[in-house]
Structures are given as structure tokens and as C-alpha cells.
Structure 1
Amino acid sequence: MQETGQSMDSVLKSIRANFVPIHREGYPFIAILAFVTLFLGWLWGPLFWLGLIVTAWCVYFFRDPSRVTPLDPDLVISPADGRVSAVGPCVPPPELELGTAPRVRISVFMNVFNCHVNRAPVAGRIHRIAYKPGKFLNAELDKASEDNERNGLVIDSAHGQLGVVQIAGLVARRIVCFTREGVQLSAGERFGLIRFGSRLDVYLPEGAVPLVAEGQTAIAGETVLARFGTASSGAASGVRID
């Protein structure tokens, strides 16, 4: 009996280790879709399977996996899952108050199949949070940085002020920010989420060298976007952000 109990505990631990948690922002959507699925199935059997597929996609969309973030303070980590859509100089949005001089901007585009939980690219204190209403153009378009609804954070890091901007997209209709001004963030710590498909722009301080190219796939909390200086110590180690 003892061996059986130990075996069951081992199985349960294995299931928990492989289960990807769902972010709480997704619970209302999943519950509504599940109810609609049952109702459609009651009306006509085949509709149940269609609703089940949509519900399963919603569960998948709101997944919130743990990530192992590099500990090197000289690194800038991707704040989003997705594809690097732009790397180059650009003037930061005026509401961030980062000046009018161009900075290196790295954009990461998230489609509807990417995980949409956003993470801090560097450790530091949130100096400013600025929300700006706007349009809902395709987030892959360069003018989306100027015209679309967005929410920007300015982080006081060890290497200067860094801007990170959540940008709504063609389908996205809700930007969620979990944090507030004055809060100290760790690199890789969750700070927000966007529903459903969008983009994040990172405006680097002077001295940061981009390490990614357009078209590259990025993983939030893990992929290194840029580096300050030449030090490489600590880049291979990481901390798990649950």
C-alpha cells in the first residue's frame, strides 16, 4: 500500500510539473466560452465540438508558463513571446518623457497563438507609467507605435532609463498592466498582458548593443535582446520566475 501511495504521489507530481498554469485574466473568457459550448451542444451536437475547439484555444491563449530568466544585470531580456519585427533607431513616444533623441528600438510582435503575458526586460524601479488611447491598426505596421492604443513604462535600471511599451493590435482590445509607479521589478517579472494579438516596443538606453535580428523568435523572460558593455559573467545562469 505504501509503495502504491508513493507511486501515485510521483504521478501527481509529474502532472503538476508539466501542467501550464492559466493566467487569472483568462478565467472569465474561458468560463463564458465553456457555457456557450454547452448551450450550442444542447441546440445541435456538432456545434459542441466547434465550441470546444474555441474554448481550448482560449485556454491555450491565456497560458502563463514559468520562465528561467538570465541573472546577468548587463542583459536586456525580451518582454514578450513572438517575432522580432523591428530593430533600429526611433524616437520614443512623447508621453514617456525620454527625450526627442532617437534610441535603439526593438519590437516584438505577438500573434494570437503566442503567450501574451508580458515580463520586465530589466531589473529596476518603475519611474513612470503612461497610457495613451488610440487606434487598433495592425501591430506589425511601423505607424502602430504612434497611432495605436498603448501603455508605456519607464524603468530606472542600473544602466539608465529604459522604455517598454505595450501596443494594442488589430484584434487586441484590452491592455492590462499589473504594476504601478514606484514598484521595484526583477528582470523577467510579470508586469502586464494584452488581449488578443499585439506588440511590445523596447527603447534601449545608450550603451546597449542589440543581439537579435528581424524575424528572430523571442521568448518572454528568457531571450536576450541586447547587452550593456562586454561582461559575460552570469549569462549562463538563471532564475525561475513562477
Structure 2
Amino acid sequence: MTLIESVRKQITPIHPEGYVFIALFAGVALVLGWISAPLGWIGALLTLWCAYFFRDPARVTPVAEGLIISPADGVICSIGQFQPPPELGLGMDPMMRVCVFMNVFDVHVNRAPVTGRISRIAYKPGLFLNADLDKASEDNERSGLVIESRHGRVGVVQIAGLVARRIVSFVQEGQSLGVGDRFGLIRFGSRVDIYLPAGARVLVGLGARAIAGETVLADYGDGGADRHFKVG
């Protein structure tokens, strides 16, 4: 392995979605530096933060029948039975919901919690309340998708937050996803809600840290056998 290859291996990739923002931050930093050296250093630090925000590290995803993996990095901020958003078409009955709150320092690339086919994608405009609030699930701007998995339909809802103003989707209806595959990104602080089919057993608690594509949120009791891993 050459020195360049070794260095490249240690650098976390930046998602292409962030290139424009990093360039804008860098341009502003140059202007601020022309006005004042201290302002220029502040601009440089903000540029580094922007690059850090859009990082897209590889993840080692556990793969086994019945596992449900976290779609987002962050803190588990809510667990319980809640009615899913009506636009997802998951019915009126409450479903087990696990919510992951992402702050502005978490990785914001979201990953599929299960393997399956996307049967629905639904966008709903709304407010930009603090994503850590329960009301955010109902009132905030959001984009949801339904994945048809072997154990039933799983709802995944990306929710904009107080700072977030743009939900980006990488997928389309009818597309097949593997567990851990990237499906979207939310810019600058937000939350992801996961609605689980009946029979899923939640394995995390409130306040726990989750890692997208790696942390097991729940299973159906048969996820411990024949487990292997994929990197991506």
C-alpha cells in the first residue's frame, strides 16, 4: 500500500450532496479573511464543520433474518405505540415507533433499516419545530417511505428540524433496498422515525446512541442465527 492509498483510507469520504455547501462556506471564509483575519479563522472553522457534517463513513451492517437496523445516527428520543402518518398508508392502528434524534454533529446520511422493496414515498410540507419534540412527528415537514419486508411493512420518516430545511431522497418507489443501503439525507439537524410491524421486539432504550447501518434497533426473535456483516 502506497502512502497516498494509506492516507486516503484514513480520510472519511464526503457525500457529493455537500460539495456545493462546502464551496460556499469556503468562499465566505475567504471574503471574511479579506475583511479581518479573526473573521477568516471563524469562516475556516465553519467550513471544516460543514465538511464534517456531510461526511459519509462506511458502515459494517449486521445482516440476518429478522434484524431491524437503525436508519440514522443519533440518540433514541422516543419509543412507544403511535399512529403512523396517514400519507404512508399504514392504517389507523398504532404501531411501535422508535425515534432517532440527530444533532448537527451526527452523520446525516440515512440508511435502510431492512431489506425490501419501497412501496410508497410520501412528502408532506409543514413546520420546522425542534425535532426533539413529540409534536415534530405530526407538525414538521417530513418525507416518509414504506419498505415491504419479509416480516411486514416498515415505515421510515425523515423529519426536518429547527435548523434543517431540506430533505434529500436518493430512491424511488418500486426500488429494492438492501439493509444498510443509503436512501436519503437531511441537511443540518433533524430526526428519523421508524414504524415497526407487529411482533418486532425493541432492543434499545431511551437515551441510547444509535449508529446508522450498524445498531440493531429491534428483531423478530430470529435475528441471532446465521448473522454476517457487509461493509458499505
> TM exceeds 0.5?
yes
Partner of 1:140: 132
Where in structure 1 do 4 or more consecutive aligned residues deviate above 6 Å? none
Matches of 1:22 and 1:56 in 2, distance apart? Answer: 12
Partner of 1:170: 162
Partner of 1:4: none
Q: Among the aligned pairs, what percent are the same residue?
A: 62
Residues 13 and 215 (structure 1), Cα distance of their counterparts in 2 relative to 1, 3 Å cut: same
Alignment RMSD (CA, Å): 0.9
Matches of 1:28 and 1:10 in 2, distance apart? Answer: 30
Correspondence for 1:116 among 85, 101, 108: 108
Q: Is 1:70–1:234's contact at 8 Å kept on the other side of the alignment?
A: no
Whether 1:55 aligns to 2:50 is: no
Matches of 2:106 and 2:182 in 1, distance apart? Answer: 16
Matches of 1:71 and 1:207 in 2, distance apart? Answer: 19
Whether 1:211 aligns to 2:203 is: yes
Matches of 1:79 and 1:231 in 2, distance apart? Answer: 17
Matches of 2:141 and 2:168 in 1, distance apart? Answer: 12
Whether 1:87 aligns to 2:70 is: no
The Cα of 1:17 is off from its aligned counterpart by: 1.3
Correspondence for 2:215 among 223, 228, 231: 223
Listed as ranges, the gaps of 5+ residues in structure 2 are none
Partner of 1:31: 23
Q: Where in structure 2 are the equivalents of 1:92-103 lying within 5 Å?
A: 92-103=84-95
Q: In structure 2, what residue type is equivalent to 1:91?
A: Q
The Cα of 1:208 is off from its aligned counterpart by: 0.6
Q: In structure 2, what residue type is equivalent to 1:31?
A: A
Partner of 1:130: 122
The Cα of 1:81 is off from its aligned counterpart by: 0.3
Q: In structure 2, what residue type is equivalent to 1:43?
A: I
Q: In structure 1, what residue type is equivalent to 2:42?
A: L
Whether 1:157 aligns to 2:149 is: yes
Correspondence for 2:231 among 208, 220, 240: 240
Q: In structure 2, what residue type is equivalent to 1:168?
A: A
Matches of 2:127 and 2:222 in 1, distance apart? Answer: 40
What's the TM-score, normalizing by structure 1? 0.94
What's the TM-score, normalizing by structure 2? 0.98
Q: Which has the larger radius of gyration?
A: 1
Listed as ranges, the gaps of 5+ residues in structure 1 are 1-8
